[in-house]
C-alpha cells in the first residue's frame, strides 16, 4: 500500500506536466499576442517568443495550481490548535528545484544566443568607406540586431538601399544619399534590403519598430548600422525606446513600406538629384 502511493503520485505528476506542456504549446501557437510580422527578422524573433511563452505559461499555471491546492489541502481545520508537522531537509526536493531551473535557464540562454546570432547581433565590426579627410569616428560602424554584415557579404550593394538616420531630442531625421532626400518619415520599398546608418547628435536614443521585431540603440559618437528587409506594405510606428529627455514619449515617427512602384513614385517626386 505504501509503495503504491509514491507511484501514483509520480504518474499523476507526469500527467499534469504533460498536460501543462500541451496547454502551453496550444496557447503560444493559437493566441496572437505580437503585432503583425513585417520584416524578414520577425519569424526568427517569434520563434524565441513562443518558446519563452510556453515556458512561462507552464511555470505560471503550474505554480498557481500548486498554491491554490496548498491553500485548500493544507489549510487549518476547525478545532486544530496544534503546530504543523516539523519538516526540515529534503535533498531530493532541493536537487529537483535547483536542477530544473538551471536546465531551463541554460536552454533559454543558449537558444537566445542562437536567435540573436541569426538576427545579426553577433556580426563582426564593419567598416564604412569614407574619404580620407572624414571624421575618424565615421570609419567604424558597429553591427547590431539585423546587421548581417552586408558590406562583408556577397550581397550586391546595388540591391541595398542606404539611408542615414540622425536622432536628436526629440526627432528622427532620415537622409537618402541617392536623391539627397531629407524627411521625417522613413520610406522603404517592400522586399528591398535597407541599410540604415544611425547616429545621435546628443544623447542615446533607440530606433524600434515592433512590427519588424528590431531595436537598435543610436549612440552619440558611435555610428551604428541596422539592416533589414521589409516584407509587408503598410505604415508602422517608429518608437524611441531609450529615455532621452522630458519629451521622450513624443519622439515618434513612421516607417512607410510601399510597393515598389509606389516607392519609385515617391522617390522621383522628392529627389533633388536625378538618378
pLDDT tens digits for range 123-133: 654 444 443 44
Confirm whether 149 is domain-assigned. Answer: yes
Confirm whether 79 is domain-assigned. Answer: no
Structural contact between residues 177 and 2, judged by C-beta atoms closer than 8 angstroms: no
User: Euclidean distance between the first and final Cα of the chain, in Å?
Assistant: 87
Side by side, which strands form the sheet with 171-176? Answer: 181-183, 171-176, 160-168, 193-200, 224-228
- Averaged pLDDT for residues 214-239: 90
Q: DSSP label at 271?
A: -
Three-state SS annotation for 114-180: HHHHHCCCCCCCEECCCCCCCCHHHHEEECCCCCCCHHHCCCCHHHEEEEEEEEECCEEEEEECCCC
Same domain, 41 and 99: yes
Domain with 153 in it: what CATH number? 2.60.40.420
Confirm whether 82 is domain-assigned. Answer: no
Full domain range(s) for residue 58: 4-73+91-118
- Averaged pLDDT for residues 260-268: 93
Same domain, 166 and 262: yes
Place 27 in a pLDDT band, splitting at 50, 70 and 90. confident
Hunting for cell 514619449 — which residue is that? 249
Reply yes or no on whether the pLDDT at 97 is more than 60: yes
Confirm whether 100 is domain-assigned. Answer: yes
pLDDT tens figures, 28-54: 788 888 889 999 888 888 888 988 888
Same domain, 153 and 265: yes
Reply yes or no on whether the pLDDT at 187 is more than 50: yes
Query: How much is the pLDDT for 6?
Result: 63
Place 9 in a pLDDT band, splitting at 50, 70 and 90. confident
The grid coordinates of residue 142 equal: 558597429
pTM for this one? Answer: 0.73
Same domain, 139 and 255: yes
Query: How much is the pLDDT for 138?
Result: 45
Confirm whether 81 is domain-assigned. Answer: no
Query: Count of CB atoms within 10 A of residue 224's CB?
Result: 21
Q: Rounded to an integer, what distance in angstroms lies between the CA atom of residue 42 and that of residue 23?
A: 24
Count of domains for the chain: 2
Residue 222 CA, chain-centre distance (Å), reads: 22
The CB-side HSE value for 206 (13 A sphere, CA atoms) comes to 18
Structural contact between residues 134 and 223, judged by C-beta atoms closer than 8 angstroms: no
Amino acid at each position: 500500500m505504501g509503495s503504491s502511493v509514491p507511484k501514483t503520485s509520480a504518474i499523476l505528476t507526469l500527467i499534469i506536466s504533460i498536460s501543462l506542456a500541451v496547454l502551453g504549446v496550444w496557447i503560444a501557437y493559437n493566441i496572437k499576442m505580437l503585432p503583425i510580422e513585417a520584416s524578414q527578422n520577425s519569424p526568427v524573433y517569434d520563434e524565441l517568443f513562443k518558446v519563452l511563452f510556453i515556458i512561462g505559461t507552464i511555470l505560471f499555471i503550474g505554480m498557481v495550481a500548486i498554491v491554490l491546492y496548498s491553500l485548500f489541502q493544507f489549510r487549518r481545520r476547525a478545532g486544530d490548535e496544534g503546530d504543523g508537522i516539523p519538516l526540515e531537509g529534503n535533498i531530493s526536493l532541493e536537487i529537483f528545484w535547483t536542477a530544473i531551473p538551471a536546465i531551463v535557464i541554460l536552454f533559454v540562454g543558449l537558444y537566445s544566443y542562437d536567435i540573436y546570432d541569426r538576427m545579426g547581433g553577433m556580426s563582426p565590426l564593419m567598416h564604412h568607406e569614407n574619404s580620407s579627410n572624414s571624421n575618424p569616428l565615421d570609419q567604424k560602424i558597429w553591427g547590431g540586431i539585423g546587421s548581417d554584415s552586408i558590406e562583408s557579404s556577397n550581397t550586391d550593394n546595388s540591391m541595398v538601399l542606404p539611408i542615414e538616420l540622425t536622432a536628436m531630442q526629440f526627432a528622427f531625421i532620415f537622409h537618402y544619399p541617392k536623391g539627397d532626400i531629407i524627411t521625417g518619415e522613413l520610406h522603404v520599398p517592400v522586399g528591398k534590403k535597407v541599410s540604415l546608418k544611425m547616429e545621435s547628435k546628443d544623447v542615446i536614443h533607440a530606433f524600434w519598430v515592433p512590427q519588424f521585431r528590431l531595436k537598435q540603440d543610436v549612440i552619440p559618437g558611435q555610428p551604428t548600422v541596422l539592416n533589414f528587409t521589409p516584407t509587408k506594405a503598410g505604415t508602422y510606428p517608429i518608437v524611441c525606446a531609450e529615455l532621452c529627455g522630458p519629451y521622450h514619449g513624443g519622439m515618434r515617427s513612421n516607417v512607410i513600406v510601399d510597393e515598389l512602384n509606389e516607392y519609385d513614385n515617391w522617390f522621383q517626386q522628392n529627389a533633388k538629384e536625378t538618378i
